[in-house]
Amino acid sequence: MSLKAPVTFFLLIAVAGLAVFPHFSDEFYLEFFTHLMVMGIFAMSLDLLIGYTGLVSFGHAAFFGLAGYLLAIVTPQDEAVALWLSLPVCLGGAALAALVIGWFSVRTSGIYFIMITLAFAQMLFYYFNENEALGGSDGIFIFSKPFVGFGDWQIIDLANPTTVYYFVLASLVACYLLLTVMLRAPFGQVIQAIRANEHRTRALGYDTQRYKLVAFVIAGTMAGFAGYLEAVSTGIVSPGHLHWHNSGLVMMHVILGGMGTLYGPILGAFILGLLHDQVQEVTEHWHLVQGVFVIFVVLFLPRGIAGLVGRLFGRPPDLDLEENRVAGEDGNKVDAEPNGERTK
Amino acid sequence: MTKKSESSRRHFIAGVAATAGLAAAGSFVPTRFAIGVAAPVKVGILLPYSGTYAMLGNSITNALKMRIDQAGGKLGGRAVEYVALDSEMSVPKAPTNTNKLIKKEKVDFLVGPVHSGIAAAMAKIVGPRNAPIMIVPNAGHNGITGSLCAPNIFRTSFSNWQPAFPGGKVMADDGHKTCVTIAWKYGAGIQMMAAGKENFEKHGGKVVKDIQVPFPKVEFQAFLSEIASIKPDAVFSFFSGGGAVKFVKDYAAAGLKDSIPLYGPGFLTEGVSKAQGAAAEGIKTTLHYAANLDSDANRKFRADYEKAYGASANVFSVQGFDTGSLLLQAMAAVGGDTGATKDLISVMEGATIVDSPRGAWKMSKAHNPIQDIYLRQVKSGENLVLGVAAKNLEDPATGCSMA
Amino acid sequence: MDLTTFLIQTLNGVQYGFLLFLVASGLTLIFGIMGIINLAHGAFYMLGAYIVYWLMGYTDNLLIAVLVGLPIMLAVGYLIERFAISYLYDRDHLYQVLLTYGLILIFNELQKIFWGTDFYSVPVPSVLGGSVTLTETQVYPVYRLFISLICMTIAAGMYVLIGRTRLGMMIRAGASNREMAQVLGINIGRVFAIVFSLGAALAAFAGMVGAPISSVYPGMGDQILIISFVVVVIGGIGSIKGAFVGAMLIGLADTFGQVLLPDFASVVVYAVMALVLLWRPQGLFGKA
Amino acid sequence: MIEPILTTRDLSKSFGGLVAVNNVTLDFAPGRVHAIIGPNGAGKTTLINLLSGDLPPSGGSITFKGRNITRLPAFEISRIGLGRSYQKTNIFPQFTCFQNCWLGAQSRLKTSMKFFRPAAAYAEVHARAERALDLCGLTHRRDLPPAQISHGEQRQLEIGMMLATEPEVFLLDEPLAGMGPEESEAVVRLLNDLARDHTLILIEHDMDAVFAVADLLTVMVDGRVLATGTPEEIRSNAEVQDAYLGSGEGQA
């Protein structure tokens, strides 16, 4: 349950690399990496649900897009809105949505959980898709970047791509650390226990529904944070941000990268993003490449790229649903039954 | 689709390597393209090549390349390199794709898109930079040459208002007093229906019901029953692609076609009338193009296109073709100097595309074509011209500071 | 809304429900019996439509095209099960979601490569080309009624297959207890392969018989996918009866939602689903 | 007669047509070891599941220290002091033995909605987990995952997790199932230790063990209570002889 030394070392190098990257990068890769880091935060937040709590949410993009829309709504057309004001509003909105959706969803499990989260995300998608006041299917602009400062004194300028890059990098590191701390704290222990064996966790005296709900809200809020950053850096938000394709994409980042690790999803976002960047220029059949890649990873690297990294370092990953079942004939399967229902 | 530029790949890899600390910082030479007049002109294209609207993307790209090839494959004496990306009709991906074309590929011109949300995202990036010049070969959102208009954004296609507005008068002229409008509930649908309604009511008609179908739903049966129970004189409608095929077929199958004639902007039958078959026969639409326009330019264009790509040309390919013409004109005027953005813009602003298959048109102050809108009718699967529904129609360009 | 309109809209809703059931039946079969979330179901639907369009180029007979097309899709389903899905039975659902998502991407590209990006249509067979008069302005195409008939046949056929035949018995045994079924000498691998090909063929069949009214175009599978999942989940995963009731419910909710609540038309079906799941988290006819 | 700590009144549970527990009325005295025996399918495990809140009863009521807990969810029942172990080993396979006990121990925090302080810094939880591990005799296996310890040890861990929650009443579902004689002996010793200041409700097939630890026995057959009494009373009960001991002794 704790970070192992080689991974920490690797992560420090990666952060250092990202910190000096703008110095060498052209404008495109600067903004592209900003986007990938945002996706990394987004994927990490979903991993809190999929990889740590065992909740497979297929509607995570709802919070991502919702926060962006909220920023667009609170930003007046011709003046900037303070970050101190807009960020709490956007995060609060995402958290509230996650609370409502989560309250309904955590009662179900397995396939039903997947589908009900999808249903709620679709509802929000259609709400924005058909709301002409908010730009309908075309989406809506955020005309001015949030203002970071007091009075007339601006601390950082979010209109500058390099500044945004560092702002997002700092956010990524902060989210990573926050989740790391949370996962080591009692709360984190409980949600990991829920993923391993929810029934037993409840029998030990934990109100698992509440822990799942809180995890859902935290993940939704963090997804909202990612959506806020994306909206800030691109200045546009559209129903496509909430579309199930986006939920599917971030799920792909989590699983390809390696769920149950915090760096895995970030890795997934970067690898898939860079692969797209390169392949897109060679062939128009990017989807074919992507499809084959996805199937390959699912079949041959079930623990994702992080699993591969783990194997290289010669240690099994911390959490594993597939193989570490209790030995012996009485070994109790904690995994979902084939029909998707866990023991009630 | 694209030829990868070696230098920019190297650039990227060098960036990563340096970042990973594997390469000494000093060994890295920042790349700045030394664009001499001999270097090829880069045309970036962002259009859908997958999904429902891939046909549009292909038609536009094919005709654009055909036009430039016909002129010797050069723009202002320089060879042309195309960098085409699949927009995937995804607005969230639009900023990255646009940035890639502008900042990584450093294209000299940006052509795209089909989706107006993507157009807005592109305009948002391109507008404030004043470079490169962006040419919209389809997306009809009024705002692109309206409230979002910018000196370096041009459109060679239409504004949603244009093909729809004359349709209102056509219905009134045919003696219809009441009408139901039905379209997808999204930007293009709403703007086109509003334009049609405006003109229909100006000519004494009355829109009795405005049905908005959730986008991109294609199950129309409930709405058809609603229309049948309202019994208007006419129905004014906009759908495109698969939705257009299905709507027109369902409309006929519900028995409404003979009792309540169907009108609409030409996209209702453009490029899809073959798939619609008999159901489309007789439908009157208004558009800035028709297959049988009687001009040498059109006949040659259609023959060339058919020969090159084995498919019939449509309005989308015309828009791509004219995009090519605009580029040729502008680049010829500046002698291939893509750095002369101001001059390029002023040439394009004053441009008249004389040899367009759709007939001559000229650029408006808001950078949208001032063009004839034709009245067409489907006969044996072809959109045949009946006459001109509106001569030299100019978009009102509401909210554009340049107009 | 007067009575006639109400009745006609009810007919529309029921008919849409039949179409939905046709697509959802194969999904619930795979879903319920194999525990596989098959996102590629929409892609099979699309393939069915394209195959029929393609075969109609050789024969003008829809029936022949369907009869030739179905074995192709059975084979496609069988191969996919053997070479991909069969490795995932013990894995978490999300791997299935991901793998079948990958299949969507691949099939969409293959469709583009083989058939291009144009829009096509398949003619309604002339025998069924007529229509029934409903009101003085509206008629109802016979072909739509014919599809409803086919749906009822399929529903009855599946009911008999699952409930009354030996294959059905093996399928049920495999669904309820895989180890037990194996002990009883049932080759679960083969049963699952059969079920998956059947499911794929059912989806394709829906695309085939639906092609004359839906027309054939890129991306058509993605549109039908999510709504069929809604149907299956409302009905209760694995329940044929549930899929039927769910399809009717969604068909009617969608139809009347559009007419009565036009501003929330597309939200209605998802709201219905959320409400049903709140009331019965395992769906209307799902096993707890 | 001392005031019972846990009582059931007409407790029933049916699954469809099958009545698994049928009008069971029992009093469990504090500080006693109360064993429930009976042939397979007698409804013993279902009864435990009802007591622990794992299953909702179809009828009747359960009272714990004067409080009606019939409809309480499992986690609440655990929190008020009824701990349970499972017949089928039900542990966290990917955590170490210590972490398994830790999760039990942590559940006694007022709440685990604590997001920042590392779990390892909660000294009292730490101590409780170590104590439980020690009591169940697994200190030497502390940092091994369950997959690397023997089946009997997994059973001990199962009990250890329950111990870590420090319940007043232990609901033990066949704690000796699948254990070797030596392990059994250790666990019986542990049960005897626990019995000194706790209430134990025990299902067990090993009759030697049952008679060695139990103060009271309840015999269940077909979901009903056949008889309740001291080991001697049960031994000499003709009905029990007839229905169970006489015919089904071979269970153990």
Q: How far is CA C75 from CA B200, C43, C70, in A?
A: 55, 15, 9
- Is residue C247 in a domain? yes
Kindly report, residue by residue over A288-309, the tens digit of the pLDDT.
999 999 999 888 888 888 888 7
Query: Is B228 in Cβ contact with C137 (below 8 Å)?
Result: yes
Kindly report, residue by residue over D36-83, the tens digit of the pLDDT.
998 888 899 999 999 999 999 999 999 999 999 999 999 999 999 999
User: What's the pLDDT at D83?
Assistant: 94
Most confident of A142-151, B324-333, C34-43, C236-245: B324-333
Most confident of A87-101, C83-97, C164-178: A87-101
Is the CB of B212 inside 8 Å of chain C's CB atoms? yes
Q: Is B21 left (phi over 0), alpha (psi -120 to 50) or beta?
A: left
Distance from CA of C121 to the nearest CA of B (A): 5
Classify strands D82-85 and A236-237 as parallel, antiparallel or unpaired: unpaired
- Is residue A321 in a domain? no
D124, D143, D164 - which closes a domain: D164
- Is residue A318 in a domain? no
Distance from CA of D46 to the nearest CA of A (A): 14
Is the CB of C238 inside 8 Å of chain A's CB atoms? yes
pLDDT above 90 covers a percentage of chain D that reads: 63
User: End-to-end alpha-carbon separation of chain A, Å?
Assistant: 26
Does pLDDT of A1 surpass 80? no
Note whether D178 and D196 are same-domain residues.
Answer: yes
Q: Which amino acid is at A5?
A: A
Query: Is A118 in Cβ contact with C226 (below 8 Å)?
Result: yes
> pLDDT-based confidence at A4, cuts 50/70/90?
low
Physical contact, C and D (3 or more Cβ pairs within 8 A): no
- Is residue D191 in a domain? yes
Q: For residue C60, what is the DSSP state?
A: S
- Is residue D198 in a domain? yes
Q: Which of B183, B186, B253 lies closest to B218, judged by CA?
A: B183
Is the CB of B148 inside 8 Å of chain C's CB atoms? no
pLDDT above 90 covers a percentage of chain C that reads: 42
Chain A residues within 8 Å of chain D (Cβ atoms): 1, 181-182, 184-190, 193, 196-197, 199-208, 210-211, 214, 318-321, 324-328, 330-332, 334
Please give the radius of gyration of chain D, using alpha carbons only, rounded to the nearest integer. 18
Give contacts of A199 with chain D, Cβ < 8 Å: 54, 90
Residue range B230-235: mean pLDDT, rounded:
95
Contacts (Cβ under 8 Å, ≥6 apart) of A248: A58, C97, C101
> pLDDT-based confidence at A174, cuts 50/70/90?
very high
Q: Whole domain around residue D209: which residue ranges?
A: 1-81+167-252
Query: Is D89 in Cβ contact with A205 (below 8 Å)?
Result: no
- Is residue C136 in a domain? no
Kindly report, residue by residue over B54-85, the tens digit of the pLDDT.
889 999 999 999 999 999 999 999 999 999 99
- Best A204, A214, A303, A324 member to test D by mutation, with max D CBs in 10 Å, is A204
D164, D190, D206 - which closes a domain: D164
Chains in contact with D via at least 3 Cβ–Cβ pairs below 8 Å? A
* Mean pLDDT over the full length of chain B: 88
DSSP string, B289-352: --TT--SHHHHHHHHHHHHHHSS---HHHHHHHHHHHHHHHHHHHTTT-TT-HHHHHHHHHT-E
- Is residue D21 in a domain? yes
- Quickly tell me which residue has 């109360």 as its tokens: D34
Contacts (Cβ under 8 Å, ≥6 apart) of C126: none
CATH of the domain at D173: 3.40.50.300
Chains in contact with C via at least 3 Cβ–Cβ pairs below 8 Å? A, B
Distance CA C250, CA C264 (A): 14
**Smallest Cβ distance to A302: which of C95, C277, C281?**
C95
For chain D, what is the HEC assignment? Answer: CCCCCEEEEEEEEEECCEEEEEEEEEEECCCCEEEEECCCCCCHHHHHHHHHCCCCCCEEEEEECCEECCCCCHHHHHHCCEEEECCCCCCCCCCCHHHHHHHHHHCCCCCCCCCCCCHHHCHHHHHHHHHHHHHCCCHHHCCCCHHHCCHHHHHHHHHHHHHHCCCCEEEEECCCCCCCHHHHHHHHHHHHHHHCCCEEEEECCCHHHHHHHCCEEEEEECCEEEEEECHHHHHHCHHHHHHHHHHHHHHC
Does pLDDT of A342 surpass 60? no
User: What's the pLDDT at A13?
Assistant: 94
User: What's the pLDDT at A337?
Assistant: 32
Give contacts of A132 with chain C, Cβ < 8 Å: none
Q: How far is CA C24 from CA A170, B118, C245, in A?
A: 46, 33, 11
> pLDDT-based confidence at B32, cuts 50/70/90?
very low
Q: Of B96-100, B228-232, C194-198, C215-219, which gets the smallest average pLDDT? A: C215-219
- Is residue C1 in a domain? no
B·C CB contacts under 8 A: 122
Higher pLDDT, D193 or B195: B195
Neighbouring C-alpha atoms within 13 Å toward the C-beta of A14: 16
Q: Of B34-38, B270-274, D79-83, which gets the smallest average pLDDT? A: B34-38
User: What's the pLDDT at C55?
Assistant: 94
Q: Which amino acid is at B244?
A: A
- Is residue D86 in a domain? no
Give contacts of D178 with chain A, Cβ < 8 Å: 328, 330
For chain A, what is the HEC assignment? Answer: CCCCHHHHHHHHHHHHHHHHHHHHCCHHHHHHHHHHHHHHHHHHHHHHHHHHHCCCCCCCHHHHHHHHHHHHHHCCCCCCCEHHHHHHHHHHHHHHHHHHHHHHHCCCCHHHHHHHHHHHHHHHHHHHHCCHHHCHHHCEECCCCCEEEECCEEEECCCCHHHHHHHHHHHHHHHHHHHHHHHHCHHHHHHHHHHHHHHHHHHCCCCHHHHHHHHHHHHHHHHHHHHHHHHHHHCEECHHHHCHHHHHHHHHHHHHHCCCCCHHHHHHHHHHHHHHHHHHHHCCCHHHHHHHHHHHHHHHCCCHHHHHHHHHCCCCCCCCCCCCCCCCCCCCCCCCCCCCCCCC
Does pLDDT of D250 surpass 70? no
Note whether D223 and D108 are same-domain residues.
Answer: no
CB C199 within 8 A of CB C29: yes
CB A146 within 8 A of CB A82: yes
Note whether D24 and D140 are same-domain residues.
Answer: no
Residue range C56-83: mean pLDDT, rounded:
93
**Smallest Cβ distance to C119: which of B55, B213, B260?**
B55
> If you measure CA to CA, which chain A residue comes closest to D84?
A203
Contacts (Cβ under 8 Å, ≥6 apart) of D169: D5, D6, D28, D64, D81, D82, D83, D198, D199, D200, D201
Does pLDDT of C229 surpass 80? yes
- Quickly tell me which residue has 């009325």 as its tokens: D25
Q: Please state, as a whole number, how many other Cβ atoms lie within 10 Å of the Cβ of residue C198.
A: 24
Does pLDDT of A344 surpass 80? no
Q: How far is CA C233 from CA A63, C6, C152, D204, in A?
A: 23, 28, 20, 42
Note whether D234 and D190 are same-domain residues.
Answer: yes
Q: Which of A297, A263, A244, A251 lies closest to A121, judged by CA?
A: A244
pLDDT above 70 covers a percentage of chain B that reads: 91
Does pLDDT of C78 surpass 60? yes
Kindly report, residue by residue over D95-144, the tens digit of the pLDDT.
999 999 999 999 999 999 999 999 989 999 999 999 999 998 899 999 99
CATH of the domain at A66: 1.10.3470
Q: What are phi and psi of A141, to 5 degrees?
A: -85, 155
Is the CB of D1 inside 8 Å of chain A's CB atoms? no
CATH superfamily of domain region B161-287: Response regulator (3.40.50.2300)
Note whether D160 and D180 are same-domain residues.
Answer: no
CB B348 within 8 A of CB B325: no
- Is residue D106 in a domain? yes
> pLDDT-based confidence at D92, cuts 50/70/90?
very high
Residue C169 structure tokens: 């018995």
Query: Is A135 in Cβ contact with B20 (below 8 Å)?
Result: no
Q: How far is CA D63 from CA C118, C208, D52, in A?
A: 72, 62, 12
CATH of the domain at C245: 1.10.3470
Is the CB of C258 inside 8 Å of chain A's CB atoms? no
Q: Whole domain around residue A40: which residue ranges?
A: 5-312
Number of H helices, E strands in chain C: 11, 2
CB A142 within 8 A of CB A72: yes
Contacts (Cβ under 8 Å, ≥6 apart) of A183: A1, A52, A191, A192, A262
> pLDDT-based confidence at B6, cuts 50/70/90?
very low
> If you measure CA to CA, which chain C residue comes closest to B223?
C259
> pLDDT-based confidence at C172, cuts 50/70/90?
confident
Give contacts of C101 with chain A, Cβ < 8 Å: 248, 252, 294
Q: Which of A111, A147, A98, A135 lies closest to A241, judged by CA?
A: A135
CB A233 within 8 A of CB A168: yes
* Mean pLDDT over the full length of chain A: 87
3-state class (DSSP) for residue B376: strand
- Quickly tell me which residue has 């007979």 as its tokens: C61
Q: Which amino acid is at C269?
A: V
Distance CA A254, CA A261 (A): 9
Task: Give the total number of structural domains in chain C.
Answer: 1
Q: Parse chain B into domains and list their residue ranges.
A: 40-158+312-371, 161-287
- Is residue A333 in a domain? no
Partners of D14 in the β-ladder: D19
User: What's the pLDDT at D184?
Assistant: 87
Q: Whole domain around residue C249: which residue ranges?
A: 14-122+144-279
Partners of D221 in the β-ladder: D224
Does pLDDT of A118 surpass 70? yes
The class that CATH gives domain B40-158+312-371 is alpha beta
Residue range C204-214: mean pLDDT, rounded:
91
Distance CA B360, CA B371 (A): 7
* Mean pLDDT over the full length of chain D: 89
**Smallest Cβ distance to A111: which of C84, C93, C113?**
C93
Distance CA B297, CA B343 (A): 28
Which of B:81-120 have CB within 8 Å of A? 83-86, 90-96, 99-100, 102-104, 115-117, 120
Classify strands A140-141 and A236-237 as parallel, antiparallel or unpaired: antiparallel
Is the CB of D126 inside 8 Å of chain A's CB atoms? no
- Best D54, D69, D75, D110 member to test A by mutation, with max A CBs in 10 Å, is D75
- Is residue C70 in a domain? yes
Q: Of A150-154, A333-337, C54-58, D14-18, which gets the smallest average pLDDT? A: A333-337
Kindly report, residue by residue over C250-287, the tens digit of the pLDDT.
999 999 998 888 888 888 988 898 889 888 888 898 77
Most confident of A61-70, A75-84, C137-146, D83-92: A61-70
CB A340 within 8 A of CB A111: yes
Chains in contact with B via at least 3 Cβ–Cβ pairs below 8 Å? A, C
Q: Of B17-26, B221-230, D156-165, which gets the smallest average pLDDT? A: B17-26
Distance CA D89, CA A196 (A): 14
Is the CB of B77 inside 8 Å of chain C's CB atoms? no
**DSSP H/E element including B369:** strand B369-379
pLDDT above 90 covers a percentage of chain B that reads: 73
Does pLDDT of B354 surpass 60? yes
- Quickly tell me which residue has 């369907």 as its tokens: C66
Give contacts of A183 with chain D, Cβ < 8 Å: none
Kindly report, residue by residue over A263-278, the tens digit of the pLDDT.
999 999 999 999 999 9
User: What's the pLDDT at A314?
Assistant: 56
Residue range A204-217: mean pLDDT, rounded:
96
Query: Is A132 in Cβ contact with B214 (below 8 Å)?
Result: no
Distance CA C205, CA C193 (A): 18
Task: Give the total number of structural domains in chain D.
Answer: 2
Q: Of B197-211, C158-172, C192-206, D20-34, which gets the smallest average pLDDT? A: C158-172
Is the CB of A184 inside 8 Å of chain C's CB atoms? no
User: What's the pLDDT at D207?
Assistant: 86
Render the burial of C99-116: b for 16+ CB within 10 Å, e for the rest. bbbbbbbbbbbbbbeebe
User: What's the pLDDT at D1?
Assistant: 59
Query: Is B49 in Cβ contact with A20 (below 8 Å)?
Result: no
Residue range D222-243: mean pLDDT, rounded:
87
User: What's the pLDDT at C45?
Assistant: 96
- Is residue A319 in a domain? no
> If you measure CA to CA, which chain C residue comes closest to A127?
C267
Q: B81 burial class (0-12, 13-18, 19+ CB within 10 angstroms)?
A: middle
- Is residue A198 in a domain? yes
Q: Do the domains B161-287 and B40-158+312-371 match in fold?
A: yes
Residue B35 structure tokens: 């664009």
Note whether D77 and D10 are same-domain residues.
Answer: yes
Distance CA B324, CA B313 (A): 15
Task: Give the total number of structural domains in chain A.
Answer: 1
**DSSP H/E element including C232:** helix C220-235
User: What's the pLDDT at D197?
Assistant: 85
